[in-house]
Structure formats: C-alpha cells, structure tokens
Structure 1
Amino acid sequence: MTQKLLIIDDDAVLISTLKRAMERRGLSVTTATNGKEAIKRLQETEQDFATLDLKLEKESGLTILEQILAVQPNLKVVVLTGYASIPSTVEAIKRGAQDYLCKPASGDDIFAALTGSKVATVEIAEKPLSVDRVEWEHIQRVMSENDGNISATARALGMHRRTLQRKLQKHPLDNV
C-alpha cells in the first residue's frame, strides 16, 4: 500500500518541487497552504506523514502542529524551516514533531526524516557563508514574504527603499 504524505507550506515553488521529489520516492502526495486546509485534508484522508513549514504566511507552524496531531495522533510530522533556532527546534519536538530540518533540505534528507529509513545528515560547509551572502538570502526571504514589494520589504528590513534597491542590484558571487 502506498504511503501518503501531506505537504503543508505556503511556498508554491517548494510545494511543487517537494511533491515531485516525494512522488519519485513512491509516496502519494497531497498539499495544503495553510492550517485550515491541512486539517480539512487530514479529516478527508488518513495520512502517514506530513511536512510542515514552521512559518506560514499568517500562522505559526507550531500551532498547526498541535492541531493536525489532534486530528491524526499517529501522523509523523517533519518541520521544515528557513528560520531555524534551538528554541523552535526544542518546541517543535516537544509538541510532537518527529524531526526538524532547515531549508533548503534535500529530498533524500526529507524522505529519510519522514520514513526513518536512514539518519539525515547535515554537511558542514568547509567555508562558511559570507556576510554578504547571508544578507542577500535574508533580503530575498523577506522580499518573498512581501510578494516582491520593494517598499514593503524595505520597511520590514528597516532600511530606505533606495538602499534596498542598491543591494538588490548586487549579486553575491561567493558561495553560490
């Protein structure tokens, strides 16, 4: 019998990529973009696994975690996040997550975390990311959260719009 996975994330590109990767590994995949939709999917169909974004558009993944486990207590949930921290990791595990992975995680690592087929490994880069690269990725993440709106992104980052535009014209070439 095919095992079923529910992907809960608000990033359409990630959903599409992860769905294809997990289907190639033999899972039947359903998706949801928010907590309400996820609960509806779980009430409709029993799932074996779920991946859950820690920070959805207007919802906390930790709150959704408790809600989905109330619907299906045996669901194996792996929390995925671009905002990893030790406190959020501990809290996710306390609330019932099976594992916690930082984005971007490989399809192999996510599959391993879901199924327990092998221990997911985290490679430590020999050369750490440069400050410019970290700043660039943070700006891109905030820009994505603001649907590409430069003015809203500048406000969220606490910088002038022109300063943000200058930073966006620069592309970090190291650690790409």
Structure 2
Amino acid sequence: MRPAKHPVSAALAGPYGHPFHPILVTVPIGAWVASVVFDLASHVAGDDAAYLAHGAQWLIAIGVLGALAAATVGFLDLFTIPAGTPAFRTGLVHMTLNLAVTVAFALDFWWRAAGTDTGRAVPAGPLVLSIVALAVLGVSGYLGGKLAYRYGVRVADETTQATGFRR
C-alpha cells in the first residue's frame, strides 16, 4: 500500500502527510454553503434581495473555480491508489459525485446569469438546484473523509500513524 501514500508529484499534490486536496476543497465548500445562505436570505431581505442574489451567483462562480483546482489535485491523489481496491472504488465515487456537483453549480451559475429578473430574490429553480447539489456534496465529503481517515490515502502510513499513539 506504499504507493497510496505518495503523490505523482509532491510539488503539485502536496508533500507526504500534507496533501493539498483537503485544503483546497474548503474554497468550494465554503463558497457554495455561503451561496445557499445568501439565496435563503434573499427571500427575507426585502429591498436588498437583489444584492444577496447577485452575491450568491458570484459565490457559486468562486466555488466552481475552486472546485476545478481541488479536482486537479484530487485527480493526482487518485493516481496513487491501487486500482481494484476499496479505496480506489471509494475514490472513483467521490470524484464522480464531486464532478456532478461542480457541473450542477456551473449550470446553476449559467441559469442565474441567463435570468433577466435581477431585482428580486433567487427563483425557486436555482435555489432547489443549489440545495440538492449541496446535499450531494455532503455525501461526497463523507466519502472523502473515509479516504483520508479510514484508508489513510496520502495522509500517513500505518507506522507513522502508530507513532502518534505510543507513550
């Protein structure tokens, strides 16, 4: 299992024990969660609804760009996992869900940009799409946690992990 601990390129994927992917995913997660908060707030904000709706749209764009960066590094991490293993299968599902979420939010951004009504709260369609995409992201995040914490992919080998528990 040693190959699952070391990246294709430490300069791109992060050094052993400190992969960049878990750090980079905080950008899209934070931006997309904040966009849903802005969306919901746009329904109770009255005159400021348009500002919140516009802010949510740009948070979605930031999230998509951040997701593309995280996906690039995550793909390098996937290359370190031996094919046919439970960790590899989990990694494929994690990647597929994340790509689907990124596409959903990209479509969400486009849907909002194509709308002509900029003076009101976010319409129900884009709001529902954001909430569903965020729910799928939660499932994918669980799988990402399983890769790091259960399988130790790119985090630490068993010997290194054991040193943290010695007295």
Whether TM-score is above 0.5 comes out as no
Point out the structure with the larger helix share.
Answer: 2
Point out the structure with the larger strand share.
Answer: 1
TM-score between the two structures when normalised by the length of structure 2: 0.23
Point out which structure has higher relative CO (alpha carbons under 8 A, 6+ apart): 2
Kindly name which structure, 1 or 2, has the bigger radius of gyration based on alpha carbons. 2
